[in-house]
Amino acid sequence: MLTGKSILLIVGGGIAAFKTLELVRLLRAQGASVTPVLTEGGAQFVTPLSLAALAGETVHRELFDLTAEAEMGHIELSRAADLVVVAPATADLMGRMVGGLADDLATTLLLATDKRVLIAPAMNVRMWEHPATRRNANALREDGILFVGPTEGDMACGEYGPGRMAEPAEIRAAIAAALGGGPLQGRHVLVTSGPTHEPVDPVRYIANRSSGTQGAAIAAALRDLGARVTLVTGPASVPAPTGVDVVPVETARQMLAAVEAAEPADAAVFAAAVADWHVRAASEQKIKKGAGGLPELALAENPDILATVSQRATGRPRLVVGFAAETESVVETATAKRARKGCDWLLANDVSPETGIMGGTENRVVLITETGAEDWPRMSKQAVADRLARRIAEALG
Ligand code: C5P
């Protein structure tokens, strides 16, 4: 996917620098060549030798390195690559980029390059949230700098929150997208994910056990193939992937509105476990127990997002994919559901409690299309997502 592409990789001085070794390996495995530039800070965390060994290239470190200048000047170095990647991009490096400083090799290359620049910020959560860093991030975005991450999670410094560098696989995907690789380049794919929450009153709601794992994996897999992805997600228990446009919603009605606002799309995958009903007149105040006896919850039907989009006369995505969570006669029920909803493909899964699929990490699906049912072996939800994304890419041609 990255065959023949050349990446100038600037490794900044943060603990996340160790992850760039894996990034180099992933990039080279996809056919890219990597020219590493190690900042003084970066060299505190990874050795030039390990970086050179993995990249199979000389590591550049000094601005005034006469041998390197004779072979390849810093201007040329900054322009020979197809893309400049900074990982990790520290708060300091971001600040110096905003200020247009050129006081070491890395910043000089960043100022001299005529190529796109993608940065993977990594820093302590307080540093990321500091108004100075917020300002710098906004300024860099305005300058056209591409971002991947940071993500939220446990940090090496013992704190939790946004600031973690994106994982190497995510950075590789962002690189592929920035370089215009991938069979879904130029396509817009809409994905719904997670459960919906239907309010009973301001504190209570009706929900289901969906974690959003499968939907998030599908969004990431489509992104990895180069698609622009809009992920409309109910309150999921797994984080949304980076590099996709996330639209958070709570109710089914909000989800339909968000889907319609995000259209048109080339394809849509409806992986959300949408509630079938909402409480007809959700109370504006918390319902009190006591005097009035038990509350009666009158229900009303939710819009069926999959059916609405599938049966639309104009502007329908070329490929509409639904999911069917069933507990009995999976193939028969799902085949009938595909016809009833009017979608092109339906991925049916058996969510009987003993399968551990709902909320778990594995899935076993049957793909129902116009031509019949195709049994996929049990695999991780990530693998299901990758396989589905490839099929979508084939179908869109
Ligand atoms: O009808 P059922 O809920 O079993 O259908 C499952 C499929 O329909 C899933 O793809 C789900 O995302 C979608 N769906 C929807 N809107 C609803 C209910 C289900 O999009 N209100």
Choosing from 193, 197, 305 the residue with most ligand 1 atoms within 8 A of its CB, the one to mutate for a pocket test is 305
Length of the chain, please?
397
Q: What are the tokens at 265? A: 């799309």
The CATH code for residues 6-179 is: 3.40.50.1950
Q: Which residue's structure tokens are 């009903």?
A: 277
Beta-carbon contacts of residue 64 (< 8 Å; ≥ 6 apart): none
**pLDDT score of 70:** 64
Confidence of residue 71 (pLDDT cuts 50, 70, 90): low
Tens digits of residue pLDDT in 166-191: 999 989 988 988 887 678 988 999 99
CATH 3.40.50.10300: which residues of the chain? 188-282+293-396
Q: Is residue 114 within a helix (H) or strand (E), and if so which, with residue range?
A: none
pLDDT at 343: 98
Torsion 277-280-286-289 (CA) sign: negative
Q: Are 24 and 48 in contact (CB under 8 A)?
A: no
Q: Ligand 1 pocket: which of 304, 343, 368, 384 to mutate (most atoms <8 Å of CB)?
A: 304
Residue that wins the pLDDT comparison between 182 and 55: 55
Q: Which ranges of the chain would DSSP assign to H, the alpha helix?
A: 19-29, 48-55, 66-71, 74-80, 91-99, 105-112, 125-129, 131-142, 168-178, 213-224, 252-262, 305-310, 330-341, 381-396
Among residues 185, 152, 158, 4, the alpha carbon closest in space to that of 81 is found at: 4
CA distances from 101 to 86, 88, 98 (A): 15, 18, 8
Domain with CATH 3.40.50.1950 in the chain: 6-179
Structure tokens at 367: 């793909």
Q: Which of 42, 50, 14 is nearest to 123 (CA)?
A: 14
Contact 268, 188 (CB under 8 A): no
| Residue closest by Cα to atom 8 of ligand 1 | 306
| pLDDT (0 to 100) of residue 182 | 79
Q: In the predicted model, is pLDDT for residue 38 greater than 60? A: yes
pLDDT confidence of residue 66: 56
Using DSSP, state whether 70 is helix, strand or coil.
Answer: helix
Return d(Cα 251, Cα 194) in angstroms, integer: 11
Cα of 321 to ligand 1 centre, how many Å?
11
Give the position, in ligand 1's atom list, of the atom nearest the Cα of 325: 4
β-strands 362-363, 379-380 pairing? antiparallel
Q: Which residues line ligand 1 (CB under 6 A)?
A: 192, 252, 270, 272, 274, 276, 302, 304-306, 322-324
| pLDDT tier, 391 (very low <50, low <70, confident <90, very high otherwise) | very high
Which ligand 1 atom sits closest to the C-alpha of 276? 21
For residue 286, report the distance from its CA to the centre of ligand 1, in Å. 29
C-alpha–C-alpha distance, residues 116 and 121, integer Å:
16
Q: How many CA atoms lie within 13 A of 326 on its CB side?
A: 21
Please give the average per-residue pLDDT across 38-56, as a whole number.
97
**Any idea which residue has 């997670």 for tokens?**
194
pLDDT in tens, 303-324: 999 999 999 999 999 999 999 9
**Residue type for position 302:** N
Range in 28-32, 130-134, 220-224, 255-259 the model is least confident about: 220-224
Closest atom of ligand 1 relative to the 302 alpha carbon:
21
State the helix-helix crossing angle for 91-99 and 131-142, rounded to 10 degrees: 50
Instruction: Tell me the percentage of the chain whose pLDDT exceeds 70.
Output: 97
Q: Is the pLDDT of residue 67 over 70?
A: no
Q: What is the mean pLDDT of the chain?
A: 92
Atom of ligand 1 nearest to the CA of 322: 10
By alpha-carbon position, which residue is closest to atom 2 of ligand 1?
324
Architecture of domain 188-282+293-396: 3-Layer(aba) Sandwich (3.40)
Q: Which residues are catalytic?
A: 157
Q: Express each pLDDT in 112-164 by its tens digit.
A: 998 889 999 999 999 999 999 999 999 998 888 989 989 888 877 788 888 99
DSSP state of 235: S
Determine the Cα–Cα distance for residues 192 and 255; give it in Å rounded to an integer.
8
Confidence band for 69, pLDDT divided at 50, 70 and 90: low
The protein residue whose alpha carbon is closest to atom 17 in ligand 1 is: 304
**How many angstroms separate the alpha carbon of residue 86 from the centre of ligand 1?**
41
Task: Quickly list DSSP for 330-370.
Answer: HHHHHHHHHHHHT-SEEEEEE--GGG--TTSSEE-EEEEET
Q: Dihedral sign, CA of 72, 73, 74, 80?
A: negative
**Segment 326-366, tens digit of pLDDT:** 888 899 999 999 999 999 999 998 888 787 777 678 889 99
